[in-house]
Structures are given as C-alpha cells and as structure tokens.
Amino acid sequence: MNPKESDPSEAFRLLPGVDEVLRLARVLEIAARSSSREVTSLVRRALEALRSEIAEGGLDAAALTERLAGDELAERVEALFAADRKLGVLPAINATGVVLHTGLGRAPVHPEVAERMAEVARSYCVLEVERASGMRNRRDDRLSELLSRVTGCEAAIAVNNNAAAVFLCLNTFASGGEGIVSRGELVEIGGSFRVPDVMTRAGVSLHEVGTTNRTRIADYRSAISEKSGILLKVHTSNFRVVGFTEEVSMEELAELGSEMGVTSAFDLGSGLIELEGSAPLDMLGGETRVREAVQSGLDVVSFSGDKLFGGPQAGLIVGRKGKIEALRQNPIYRALRLDKTSLRGLEVTLQMLLDGRGDEVPTRRMMHLTADELKSVAEELAAGIDGLPGLSAECSADSSQPGSGSAPHIFLDTWVVRVRHDSLSPDALGRRLRMGEPILFTRIAEDALVCDPRTLLGDDARGLLQAFAAIQDRPSQRSKCH
C-alpha cells in the first residue's frame, strides 16, 4: 500500500449527514426558493459525489476537512441547483446562420404571433365552439379558411407535424393497400423519418417505381392495380440527384390519379408561400410553391408549419374538400391534432401573410438579409469581441444555409465573425458558449469559431457579446489536483 494513501474510512466518518447539510444557511436559502424535497435530493447528490471521490482515493481526511471548512458542500448544492435549472427547452441565441435549425427549434415566430399564442395559452379560448350558436364546431375551421385564401386550396387540416401529416394521408387513403412512390423519392429526412418505414407503420405496402434518377408517368400507370391507395410524391428535401434525371410532374401525377381513381399526394416538406405584398424568396430557385402544387390538381399537399412557412410546429395538409374530410374522419386524426396555441400561431402567421406583412415573418426576413446588411453587423460584433481578454475576432465573407433540408444546394452569401481564443480550441470555446449564459450556438470551422449574424433576432447581438464576455468572468473549472 502506498504510504501516502490514508484509510478512507476516516474520511467517510467526517462526512456530515443529509440533515446537517440541510441546516446550512446557504442550503436553507435554496430550500426557500424551491422545496426541501428538491434540495434534499441535491444534498444527497453532493454527498454522493464526495463519497466517490473518497472511494477513488482522491480525497483523504485532511483534505476533506479543509474543503468542508471552505463551505464546499453548500457550494456544491448551489452549483447542482443552478445546473438543474439550466436544463430543458431554454431560449438560446442562434449564431449558426442556419435559419431553420431543427436542434434549435426551427422557425422562431414573430413577436406578435408569440404574443397571440401566449394570450390563448393563459386563458380559455374559442377553440371548438361556434360563438353565434354556442354549438360545437371544429378547431381548425378558421385555419382552413385562411389556408384556402393563401394557397387556393378547397380545404385544409392541421396536425402535429409534417411527419404526422404524411402518416395520416397514407393511413387514410391506402391502409391495407399499396402506396406508389418513385424510387428516387424514398428519402430519409432528419434521421428518423424514412418514407418506407412510415408507410409500413401506416399499414401501407410500398410499391416502388422507376429508378433512382428516372421515373416516368408510365411507370406509375403500370403499377396501378385495385390495391393502389395513393400515388405519393415526396420532395427530396435534403439531397439532390443531378445530371441525367427525369421526374414526373405534379400535373401528370394528379391527372393519372383522377383518371384511375387513386388519391394523389405530395409531401412538399417546406411550405414555400409566395403572396403579393411580400418579397418572393427567389434565392430558393425552382422550389415548388404550395399554391403551384395545389393548382396542379393534386388531391392533397402537405408541408411543415415551422420550416419556410415560419410558424409554430405543425403539419398542414391542403387540398380537395372531400379528401380533407376523409382525413378528418380517420380516428387517428384525434391523436395527431394540434393544440390551441399552435393553431393560433398559424392563424396569426397566415393573417400577416395576407395583410402583406410576409417580409416581417422572421424566417423570410432572415432569408432576405443581404451580405451587405450582414457585413455591418458582423463588423460591429467583431469590434465588440476583439477587445475581450483572450479573444480575437475578424470578419470574413462566408455562406449560410436555409437548413432543415430546405434547399440543400442553396447557399446564401453572408458575412461572419471568426473568433479565436488564446488558450481554448474552437471546439472548447463553442462548448463554453453553449453552456454559458446567455446560451449561444455557433458554427465551428477548422481553425476558428464562426458567428453568422444572419440568424440573430431582436436583442441577440447584445446577448452574443454578453455570452463572449461571460467566458472571462467564469471561474476556471474546479481544480482536480489534491
């Protein structure tokens, strides 16, 4: 045995009991802000941490006595309490430049939309009742009406997200039968949404047609049988086959469907809306507009509420009245329907679009920001960061991406701030910023940490500077030397 290693039982005996720690003034203060039940579990965790340090031989009786005298336990309980309150769905600053960042909650809604959402969240609201008659009605009647004005559809229905929308369409129109999909469109979106898997779960057998790069309308036609329930077109959001390709147009698919009596559907992914009064999102090139898809004659078209559309999370299905009614009659709809706050958020976002205020929708506004506009913001940020101890910053031209599988081939010209730290690697710096206050997410390039001002909202520029300044204030990690 190493002579320096003392008997751990002596150190264990020095550890106070839970009740004793609970009586410490600083611990009582936390209990007053929370509850004794919550604090007791934190005290147990703090003691457990010390116990394992002792057991691992890293803490002897002498060192422990010293640390306990230094109020170590109260400090640990405070740190655990603070860390515990920093978990969950917290506001964060997005300086990644990825406009629709799924990890960061995709589309932030307009403050006015958020306020209307909060209003119905904290009160009762007119959700499923008609005011004039006092009779029960449908929660998304108004949404359906607004969506028909915006997209030209006959009717619409809203569900939890676009994955749910696709599931509902498959299950309603093709359960027990076949769904016909082009081989080139059997995509996986975001790791867990695979078209073939979703079909299986919806009770639909997949009938693949064509090849990865070429599918013709004749391929669909020859696949149709009495088992066919749906002709599904899927937007290949996050990849693009280039070169010798051919895909069936929406019009051809719609026509074939109506000729053969099979429902035609298009999973559009991102809902690109173009309305007069708002600058078109021309940078997205040939991205299909929802209105075009509706006009093509397809029976149903689905898209996300929180991608380019710029609203809260939702799956929106627009299309023919009879088809939408069939979706509504499916008992599964009940399990997929939207809550009052999301419905309100969608209504108000649609109303903004109809009022010619589309340019104010945050996702649209961020997409439109020019490199020139962003350059001046980047320069201001760089000046603010460059002065801070340990940090240096410079601006450079770069590109941002729409994100969330929207237009993977699209890069938007931007200006970024490249930040370096004297002693921290870009990765380590990025981690500090993510763990700091305010919470800041950035991009990591090989040699620097990159802040893209495209995705900063409201007061975020100030918050970003605070986040960098806070790195300096933070006491260095507790030394692990004994």
* Least distance between ligand PLP and beta carbon 146 (Å): 19
Q: How far apart are CA 181 and CA 176, in angstroms?
A: 16
CB under 6 A: which stretch of 17-25, 40-48, 247-255, 266-274 binds ligand PLP?
266-274
Whole-number minimum distance, CB 298 to ligand PLP, in Å?
14
Tally DSSP H helices, then E strands, for the chain: 20, 15
Sequence-ordered strand ranges (E) for 271-373: 300-304, 315-319
* 3-class DSSP state of 209: strand
The Cβ of residue 39 has, within 10 Å, a number of other Cβ atoms equal to 23
Other CB atoms within 10 Å distance of the CB of residue 370: 11
Q: Which of 369, 421, 414 is nearest to 395 (CA)?
A: 414
Q: Please say which residue, 12 or 193, places its beta carbon nearer to ligand PLP.
A: 193
Please state the closest distance from residue 320 (CB atom) to ligand PLP, in A.
20
Binding mask 227-246 for ligand PLP (x = CB under 6 A): -------xx-x---------
Q: Report the residue number, 403 or 463, with the smaller CB distance to ligand PLP.
A: 403
* H or E element that contains 93: strand 93-94
Q: What phi, psi does 391 have (nearest 5°)?
A: -110, 140
Q: Whose CB is nearest to ligand PLP?
A: 269
Which CB sits closer to ligand PLP, 161 or 172?
161
CB 373 within 8 A of CB 137: no
- Is 161 a binder of ligand PLP (CB under 6 A)? yes
Question: Which range in 249-257, 267-275, 386-394, 418-426 contacts ligand PLP by CB under 6 A?
Answer: 267-275
Query: CA 167 from chain center: how many Å?
Result: 20
Contact string (CB under 6 A) for ligand PLP, positions 169-208, x = contact: --------------------x---x---------------
The angle formed by the CA atoms of residues 389, 391 and 394, to the nearest 5 degrees, is 140
Place of tokens 């040699």: 447
Residue (317 or 449) nearer to ligand PLP, CB = 317
Tell me the C-alpha distance between 103 and 339, whole Å: 22
The nearer residue to ligand PLP, 178 or 287, going by C-beta atoms, is 287
Smaller CB separation from ligand PLP, 264 or 304:
304
**CB of residue 278 to ligand PLP, shortest distance in Å:** 22
Q: Which spans of this chain sit near ligand PLP (rule: CB under 6 A)?
A: 161-163, 166, 189, 193, 234-235, 237, 267, 269-270, 304, 315, 404-405
